[in-house]
Structure 1
Amino acid sequence: MKPATVAQLKKELKFRSSEELENLCLHLAKFKKENKELLTYLLFQSHDEELYIQSVKEMIDDGFSEINTTSYYYMKKTIRKILRMVKKYIRYSKKKETEVELLLYFCVKLNNVKPSIHRNKMLTNLYEHQKVLIKKRINALHEDLQHDYTLEMESLNI
């Protein structure tokens, strides 16, 4: 079965009643955990972005506290898992400021991991790639925010 385009879905949703839309949303939420998480963000957390950012930062802290540092192989797996989680929560928000703030926090935590990530080529490349991505996102922001985030990057030695 070929899925419909977003435009087709949008047109079809216009003809549905509010009760039908509610049932469709609940049906979507039952299928995937990500759908349920997105609905949770949109309904309960989107109005307070600072609280949302703080909760994601706590999840990042939890992820970094659980890293198995016995070998770089296990560190890589866990760090990539944390990064996937961060990217997923960034996608929910769609706000550039949230993306920059969460990626900055991820990079700070990654830079402070012991043993140092700079002894491993793959982890160093991952870190550098995130820095480049942050710089690109900062350039897309308003000038005042650009200045603030650039200063923050410099103060954190990122």
Structure 2
Amino acid sequence: MKPATVAQLKKELIFRSSDELEELCLRLAKFKKENKELLTYLLFQSHNEQEYIESVKQVIDDGFSTINTNSYYYMKKTVRKVLRMVKKYIRYSKEKETEVELLLYFCEQLKSLKPSIKRNKTLTNLYERQLTLAKKRISELHEDLQHDFTLEIEKLNL
């Protein structure tokens, strides 16, 4: 079965009643955890972006607290897992400011890991890529925010 395009879905949803849309949303939420998380964000957290950012930062802290620092192999696996979660939460928000703040917080936590990521090329490259992405997103923000975030990036440079 080939799925319909977003444009086709949008046209079809116009003809549905609000009760049918509610039923479709609930049915969609039953199938995937990500769908449920996105609906939770849209219904309960999107009106207070700062609170959402703080809750994601707590998830990042929890992820970094579980890192097995005995081996760089295990560190890399857990860091990638945390980064996947961060990217998922960034996709829910769609706001550039939220994306930059979460990426910088992730980089800050990664840089403060012990043993240092400087001794591992893969972790250093991952850190550099996320900083580069944050810099790219900063250039799209308002000038005042650009200045504030640029100061944070200067603190994070290795």
Q: TM-score normalised to the size of structure 1? A: 0.98
Deviation at 1:155, TM superposition (A): 3.3
Q: Which runs of 5+ in 1 are unaligned?
A: none
What is the match of residue 142 of structure 1?
Answer: 142
* Cα distance in structure 2, aligned partners of 1:6 and 1:70: 46
Give the total of aligned pairs.
158
SS in 1 for 2:2: coil
Query: After the TM superposition, which residues 9-158 of structure 1 pair with which residues of structure 2 at under 5 Å, given as runs?
Result: 9-157=9-157
Q: What is the letter of the counterpart of residue 151 of structure 1?
A: L
Deviation at 1:91, TM superposition (A): 0.1
Deviation at 1:156, TM superposition (A): 4.0
Q: What is the letter of the counterpart of residue 2 of structure 1?
A: K
- CA deviation string 1:69-89 (max 9, x = no partner): 110000000000000000000
Deviation at 1:157, TM superposition (A): 4.0
- CA deviation string 1:73-112 (max 9, x = no partner): 0000000000000000000000000000000000000000
SS in 1 for 2:68: coil
* Cα distance in structure 1, aligned partners of 2:153 and 2:62: 23
Q: Percent identity?
A: 80
* Cα distance in structure 1, aligned partners of 2:114 and 2:147: 31
Deviation at 1:52, TM superposition (A): 0.2
* Cα distance in structure 1, aligned partners of 2:156 and 2:127: 14
SS in 1 for 2:67: coil
Q: Which runs of 5+ in 2 are unaligned?
A: none
Q: What is the letter of the counterpart of residue 128 of structure 1?
A: E
Alpha-carbon contact 2:131-2:153 (below 8 Å) kept: no
